[in-house]
Amino acid sequence: MGKSEKRTVFVCQQCGKESLKWLGRCPDCQQWNSFVETVVTAPVALSRSLSPVSPPEELSQVTLEATDRFPLPLIEFNRVLGGGLVAGSLVLISGDPGIGKSTLLLQASAAVAQDKGGRVVYISGEETLHQIKLRSERLGVKGERLYLLAETDLEVILSQIEQLSPSLVVIDSIQTVYIPEVGATPGSITQVRECTLRLMRWAKLSGVPAFIAGHVTKDGSIAGPRVLEHIVDVVLYLEGEPFSAYRLLRCVKNRF
């Protein structure tokens, strides 16, 4: 196999626009000094389709199965999702640091593992397994059939997931994972975009729904390019006052 072709581009850290040369001001988002030099590796040996080649199928002949959507044991969470998770969907949940994204995802993961009886894989790029265990003890989560993995290399993550064949996957957070071949630092716009695309492709092929947690910037927008919100199927925002015990889970996009 030949070597992957690499090229250097300048990427705006605000909107994701690429340029072959450095620009003082981004022509798209008008931000100053936002371009960062990034090494991009051309993709190799990628399939053009998300599934094996098949002829077009008439809409009236497409059948729905009961397993295409399964409700979550958490009633309010389930309501925000429109009745449950759709098979192969990619759900982005975002919010301020410390707002409770990891806590909510851990509770949902444990509830699915206990109620549905399937395996759930919780991947953390920000905490160790012992730190997650401490939080689970505080929440009263037992953790049967809930598997933890502290890893940031997306290739390793997908390899471990395929061995377990889970019914749900959680990645906390998308800004911490990376693809070695991309050549950019974790959390950069290029890495966030490529990792999300790879996860979306995996979810569609496997039919396993996945949650990804994302941070927000100072102005309240999701950290990373706006295309991130267009890639995923569902976008949720977890909001609330810093010193309040209540949180609001708001859905701003749902393809289903």
The pLDDT score that the predictor gives to residue 44 is 44
Domain with 18, as residue range(s), is: 1-42
User: Residue 47 domain-assigned?
Assistant: no
User: Residue 110 domain-assigned?
Assistant: yes
Pair (15, 113) in one structural domain: no
The pLDDT score that the predictor gives to residue 51 is 53
- Neighbouring C-alpha atoms within 13 Å toward the C-beta of 243: 0
Q: Is residue 121 exposed (0-12), middle (13-18) or buried (19+ Cβ within 10 Å)?
A: buried
User: Residue 242 domain-assigned?
Assistant: yes
Pair (36, 108) in one structural domain: no
With 0.75 as the threshold, say if the pTM is over it: yes
Pair (108, 212) in one structural domain: yes
Pair (24, 95) in one structural domain: no
Pair (112, 205) in one structural domain: yes
Pair (86, 208) in one structural domain: yes
Instruction: Say whether 153 sits in a helix, a strand or coil.
Output: strand
Taking CA atoms, 188 is separated from 68, 121, 160, 185, 254, in Å, by 34, 25, 24, 6, 26
The pLDDT score that the predictor gives to residue 46 is 44
Residue 5 has pLDDT above 70, yes or no: no
In whole angstroms, what is the distance from residue 212 CA to residue 171 CA?
Answer: 5
Pair (16, 133) in one structural domain: no
Q: What is the pLDDT of residues 193-206, one digit of tens each?
A: 899 999 999 999 99
Contact at 8 Å (CB) between 189 and 141? no
Pair (6, 107) in one structural domain: no
Pair (94, 160) in one structural domain: yes
Residue 2 has pLDDT above 50, yes or no: no
User: Residue 238 domain-assigned?
Assistant: yes
Instruction: Return the minimum-mean-pLDDT range out of 9-13, 150-154, 230-234.
Output: 9-13
Pair (36, 78) in one structural domain: no
**Mean pLDDT of the region 234-238:** 94
Pair (116, 168) in one structural domain: yes
Instruction: Return the minimum-mean-pLDDT range out of 5-9, 220-224, 233-237, 249-253.
Output: 220-224
The number of domains in the chain is: 2
